Amino acid sequence: MAGYLDHIAIERGLSSNTVAAYRRDLRRYVGWCEERERDIEAVTENDVADFAASLRQGQEEVPALGPASAARVVVSVRTFHRFAAREGLTPTDPARDVRPSAIPRRLPKALPYEDVAALIENAGDADSAEGLRDRALVEFLYGTGTRVSEAVDLDVDDVDLEALTVVVTGKGDKQRLLPLGTLAADALSAYLVRGRPALAPRGRGTPRLFLNSLGRPLSRQSAYGVLRQAATRAGLTAKVGPHTLRHSFATHLLQNGADVRVVQELLGHASVSTTQIYTMVTVDTLREVYATSHPRAR
């Protein structure tokens, strides 16, 4: 397993978060095989299929997984066995014909723009360094549609406030150049001038853009906390996280006429099919407007 993890980290260049997810999935698989005294080199297609079925059922000490999580684990096992067979570590690929269960396609939950505006207004107090950081973080997440991991991994030098651009490193260490809206740029400027200089001396020195109260890089968990607190102050009842702002970013762009392939580039999706789920949201909006506005639609 270690050789495979090295392969996806070094040769395929997958992110540390993705490699960690593969590691968790494969530990679960190896543990399942060991409990049944199945050697990885000798497992059969039926064994892999039984493991896939067990993911949705759960066990005493291992909780059942939802459709998306179970499908991800099966994909991890399939790619692991494909690698092992290709490298001659196993005689066959027993997972080749085992398919993950179909995942119900759920529409992403986007906030109305009014709720996003309220969230931003309640994100932070301009009188404190942490407040300036929080306001800049929320403005940035909504203004760019970046993943939370991409935001907290940013360095100061990645942001060009004069050109109104930011260089973001996404999945597979692929970089993309994104435009910065003026409101996000203004919030970042205020944080860089009055917020970050107050936080940085508390730590040991780091190029990271967003810092915590100890002057260390802000974690993903802390970023979630920033949004939860802002949502509470704004009186929002919907569950709000960084991905909510990413969904809202994409949905609002498409609702206002943006081309789906442009949105794909901004989001950093490898395939336009991933982005097209957001077009389902806009079609639903059109259908609702039609149903309430056309005299012959009721």
Q: Which of 243, 247, 252, 261 is catalytic?
A: 243
Q: Which of 133, 135, 247, 269 is catalytic?
A: 269
Residue 36 falls in the annotated catalytic set = no
Out of 56-65, 172-181, 283-292, which region has the weakest mean confidence (pLDDT)? 283-292
Please report, rounded to a whole number, the percentage of residues in the chain having pLDDT higher than 90. 47
Residue 298: per-residue pLDDT: 57
Q: Could you say which DSSP state residue 94 is in?
A: T
For 85: left if phi > 0, alpha if psi spans -120 to 50, otherwise beta; the answer is alpha
Asked whether the whole model's pTM tops 0.85, one would answer: no
Residue 297: per-residue pLDDT: 62
Residue 239 falls in the annotated catalytic set = no
Residue 81 falls in the annotated catalytic set = no
Are the beta carbons of 119 and 230 closer than 8 angstroms? yes
Residue 171 falls in the annotated catalytic set = yes
Half-sphere exposure at residue 37, Cβ-oriented, CA atoms within 13 angstroms: 0
Q: Which of 23, 82, 171, 220 is catalytic?
A: 171
- What is the tens place of the pLDDT at every residue in 9-67? 888 888 888 889 899 999 999 988 988 888 888 889 999 999 998 888 866 667 788 88
Are the beta carbons of 134 and 186 closer than 8 angstroms? no
- What is the tens place of the pLDDT at every residue in 67-118? 888 888 999 999 999 998 998 888 889 999 988 776 666 666 789 999 999 9
Q: Which of 133, 208, 246, 252 is catalytic?
A: 246
Residue 7 falls in the annotated catalytic set = no
Residue 191 falls in the annotated catalytic set = no
pLDDT at 243 over 90: no
Are the beta carbons of 84 and 90 closer than 8 angstroms? yes
How far from 278 is each of 42, 177, 249, 283, CA to CA, in Å?
43, 22, 10, 9
